[in-house]
Structure 1
Amino acid sequence: MNTPPGPARLDLTTCARLLDVRRYSLKRLAKRGLFADPAGTEQGRPFWHETTVLAWAAAKVPQLADRIPLLHWPDATEPAPYLGAVRLKNAVAVGWRPEPGPLWTIWTAPGHPGWRHRTQALAELPGAAAFAVVSGQFGGDGPSLQTYTAADLDNNSGGLRWSKLSQIIGQPVPYWPYMLRIPELLEAWRPGAPAVLAAAIPDLDTTPLLRLAACLDDDSPAQRVLVHQARIFQHVSTSYAEQDLKILAEILNADYNTPETTVVAATPMPVPAVGRDDLDEALRRAGWLDVLARTDTLAVRCVEEVMKWDGGNPFPYSQLEDIDPGKGPHAAEWAQRLLPHPAPRTAAFRVLDPDDSAAEALIDPATDAPVIRTEDGKLQAAVPQRLPATSPLTELVLDDPIWVRVADGTLYLAPLHSYYGLSWGYGGTGPGSLALLIDRLLTDVNCLPADGANGAAPGLEELTETDWPKGTVLTRAQLEAARDGRPYTTGDDAGDDIGDES
């Protein structure tokens, strides 16, 4: 059996190099018995181990603390003085002064997990010896930490357990859930203070939604969808904070840990549980149509925030299609009916043109969906999630994009869910979603879009997995036959039965 090598043996020269001090100084201290005790002797000469030397330096030589990793700092014999809180860029620093020197815990703001402003922290926290950046994740005994010395801000010295941080400052470390890292809360905290009850920071900005809601008639569809969406934002962030506290409690209450290392500084205000389907679908549609039709800056900001949240899933249209009117008769037919959109542009155009830079704004009069013309003359359209048709489906056109025609002759872009796309010619999610959409359109032309890739009749799934030539037109009769498992024929070759297993 191979015996693993022991720790490296350092002589006085390597000890001096480790601490970045002169060898003569260490030799003088060693002669006086003031240096770290040797780990042993080798050929009559003393040697030391790195951990012993670093622990000695952190405990005995305060001027070296800014180059000694926190892992080697000594445990406090009494609570370290509290230094308060200081706001930094995208973070708040909370500090103590243990014996080796000022130590600051850095609490990054939500949305800024990869904190990169250590140089700025050093400038705004003069005299700091070390930093412990508290991540949003957890380790074996508490929140995960990234630690840095003031003399080496580029390298995470790592390895520090939450319990060791508590031992260094001689008291429990305050903990703020990630979504409760609110600067005012951290600044107001003092050792021994009870946990405060506070509203979690929403992932996205609820301010424009609530401000616009305050400007609208009470209980109007637009007001209701705005308040509802703001509550969704708030509820999700509150759930994140509650989950953080649940994980922390499970860690601290484990048999191998001690809860005394941590004090919870803030807990989230409860928010009623809320879901997208709590509002009637017709009300949601009407409310967002009202918001999207507005031209004020608050409505624009509301659209931007909801797009960040889930791609605009609540909107009547959220996915985009690029359309070249010069390629294919159906694209040309659809493009011919577009009308110029008068200035100012509505908030709906933020779905298509976040920078408001498109040269020409258009509208599809059949759906009221926005369209823009790009610099190369091509069109980009917002695709409705539901068709406003009043007559049934008559044909489906497999093209780029996919088209739907109804009995009154109107041609529409095939409706799209905010997440699922449509395609054909292989076994996968796109064809599965197309089969589901066809199944629904045959039953109700005003149906919801395909919100999954499963659930269609097997015959329709077989049809959409077939590699049809681009431009293939499938009639209602053919689609119904496929759905029912009956033979059907292509429009180009009525003599070929497809789907006949005989």
Structure 2
Amino acid sequence: MGVSTVYLSKTEVQDLLKVSPFGMWRLPRQHKDFPAPQDDPHHRAFDPEPAGQVWDATALYLWAAETPEFRHRGAHLARPVPGQRQPGRHLGYRDTPHGPATDWHTGIGVIRMLHTTDSGAASSAAIDLAAESNREIVTVCALYGDLGHTGPALVAADTAQPRIEYEARWGDVADLVGQPLPWWPGLLRRPEVVRQWQPGAAAVVAQVPAEDRETALRKAARNPAFRADARTALTNMADQIRNQRVEGVASEIKIFGDHAARLQTRMVVAARHDESTHPIEVLEEDDDVEDVLATGWRAIATSTQPDAVVATDIALGYHPHLLPYGRFTDVLAKQGTVAERWSRRLTMCDPTAVHATLAEGKQVEAFFVDPLTDMPVVRTKADGSKGPQWLFYAPLALPASRDELASVVLYGTVWITTTDGQVHPAPCTPGEHLWWGDGWGDRPTEAAHVVNQLLDDLTRPVSLRYHWDNAPAGLTALFNEEHKQGTEVTRATLLHARMTPPTPRR
């Protein structure tokens, strides 16, 4: 979140400052620090009228607050704090369309503290209050989402000029209120939590709400159609997500709390998470546990249960290495290509959960499985000017064989042909991708590293760790060339490239 940028025309500046055209002409001559105008950034080249001069509304509004002659026209929370003032008081909790809020009566009027980091929330709330002709609330503050020198950073908007947002200091608001202000960690800024707070009260202890992924995984874990190892895998991932979510709240409290204590800012932590339910014990991820979890996730991914579709999609994003699938890949389904040659061995099948993740949002023609690698494959229908596509996950390794890599074909991704006549998408881990050509400074070390490993052992599970260091320079240079789609590179060419030393830089 940040301060919204608004620009004012010359007429709008005059209205804000209540000056005549002549007074406007005099301003930069009388005040050397008067904000300079700029060309309208929203002006389009093809507009019939020439670009006009505009002023940054926030800069102008803050300038006015710091300039004695126009102070009463400037930002409320940027004006000098009144010298003699009565202590403010807490007016209680308010439900608003923009999030939970607390109101505070001060010497300058009521300040509404909006407990949200939504962009534009301060201005939107101030605009609504101005439309209601609310004369009590003078300023709305929302959280910036970061820390300032005097406490959590704030964005403010005055109801007198609700379109203009500006940064405000937590300490200045606390001085006006006359007491420390409450702050809630993000996941506990819920109406039922915020409304419980009162000045001087202890922090409210609240449960961190479950997020959608955790809820979906726990629902799937209750499905009796899944076998025991699958339910264990589902529950374990849900518990991990839960722990991380609660740890995020604890970390946020520590960061903001330590900052307040170190700088003696006037802030109190108004809510804390329930530590009695955290952390949840999860399975330690050693090799044996990884095998159990991977077995369970494979059962889920190959299930036809609707719950399995959602769970598989979550797992692919959260911990894809537990699933036996590599990088998502799509290539055009054209006759005469290496993909068409590969597709001849595919077996049509009923869709599973992992097929559904491949087909998400697409018009599907048929579902397949590669009988040699067990990889799921989807063929889509033509979509407008775009022809049908093959969608699949790259294998993590090629099937056991005594044959060798015969050639590499570059078509959408890297393909491997073998000496026994088979064709495979090249193995690739989930977090990487195989490509070639000029990468604008990046180099295709992934493809070079995979091919280097397969030249020595066609069936080894590939590793892409430190590919940028371990890929042979000659192979990297070969794949860095702009090869046409469908280019085939023979084994002899690949071996020669691998043995070619890098060209020295001049």
Whether the 8 Å CA contact 1:87–1:183 is kept in 2: the answer is no
Look up the equivalent residue of 1:380 and give its one-letter code.
W
Counterpart in the other structure of 1:334: 342
What residue number does 1:447 align with? 461
Q: Provide the rounded CA distance (Å) in 1 between the counterparts of 2:395 and 2:127.
A: 48
SS of residue paired to 1:472: strand
Q: Matched residues in 2 for 1:85 and 1:500: separation?
A: 68
- Structure 1 stretch displaced more, 422-431 or 161-170: 422-431
Alpha-carbon distance in structure 2 between the residues aligned to 1:424 and 1:298: 38
Unaligned stretches of 5+ residues in structure 2? 1-12, 20-63
Deviations 1:306-335 (A, max 9, x none): 55658x565433633232343644211112
One-letter amino acid matched to 1:163: G
Matched, 1:352 2:368: no
Corresponding position of 1:84: 93
- Equivalent residue for 1:390? 400
How far apart are the structure 2 equivalents of 1:162 and 1:205? 35
1:386 Cα offset (Å): 1.2
State the one-letter code of the partner of 1:453. Answer: H
- Is the CA contact (8 Å cut-off) linking 2:409 and 2:415 kept in structure 1? yes
% identical equivalent positions: 22
1:222 maps to 230
Residues 1:278 and 1:19: Cα distance change in structure 2 (over 3 Å)? farther
Cα distance 1:131–1:380, how it changes in 2: closer, same or farther (>3 A)? farther
Offset of residue 414 of structure 1: 1.3
Number of matched pairs: 427
**TM-superposed deviation, 1:267:** 2.9
Cα RMSD between the aligned structures? 4.1
Q: 1:276 to 1:329 in 2, by over 3 A?
A: farther
Q: Contact 2:197–2:204 (CA<8 Å) still a contact in 1?
A: no
Do structure 1's residue 182 and structure 2's residue 190 form an aligned pair?
yes
Q: Distance in 1 between matches of 2:194 and 2:133?
A: 16
Distance 1:472 1:408, change over 3 A: closer
Letter in 2 for 1:233: I
Which secondary structure state, in structure 1, belongs to the residue aligned with residue 161 of structure 2?
A: coil
Mapping 1:93-492, distance limit 5 Å = 93-108=101-116, 112-113=118-119, 115=121, 117-118=124-125, 122=129, 127-158=136-167, 160-200=168-208, 205-216=213-224, 220-254=228-262, 257-259=263-265, 261-268=266-273, 269=275, 270-271=278-279, 280-306=289-315, 314-317=322-325, 319-326=327-334, 328-342=336-350, 345-355=351-361, 357-366=362-371, 367-375=374-382, 376-387=386-397, 389-391=399-401, 394-395=404-405, 396-400=407-411, 401-405=413-417, 409-424=421-436, 431-441=444-454, 442-443=456-457, 445-456=459-470, 458=472, 461-462=475-476, 464-465=478-479, 467=481, 470-475=486-491, 485=499
Contact 2:331/2:389 (8 A) holds in 1: yes
Distance 2:185 2:433 in 1: 37
The separation in 1 between residues aligned to 2:448 and 2:427, in whole angstroms, is 13
**Does the 8 Å contact 1:387/1:412 carry over to 2?**
no
1:49, 1:324 → 2: CA distance?
A: 62
The change in CA–CA distance for 1:413 and 1:465 in structure 2 (over 3 A counts) is: closer
Q: Residues 166 and 277 of structure 1: is their aligned pair in 2 closer, same or farther, counting only changes over 3 Å?
A: same
- Following the alignment from structure 1 to structure 2, what is the Cα–Cα distance between the partners of residues 453 and 197? 48
Larger radius of gyration: 1
Return closer, same or farther for 1:325/1:248 CA change in 2, 3 Å cut-off.
closer
Q: What residue ranges of structure 1 are gaps of 5+ in the alignment?
A: 1-13, 21-47, 58-63, 486-497
Q: Is the 8 A contact 2:445 2:471 kept in 1?
A: no
Q: How far apart are the structure 2 equivalents of 1:206 and 1:454?
A: 36
Tell me the alpha carbon deviations over residues 119-177 of structure 1, each in whole angstroms, 9 at most, x when there is no partner: 6863799653321001221112221100011232211132x211112112221111112
Q: In the TM superposition, what whole-angstrom CA distance separates every residue of 1:444-478 from its partner, at most 9, and x where no partner exists?
A: 72514525533536367456546367532443x87
TM-score by length of 2: 0.70
SS at match of 2:470: coil
Contact (CA 8 Å) 1:217, 1:223: kept in 2 or not?
no
1:153 aligned counterpart, secondary structure: coil
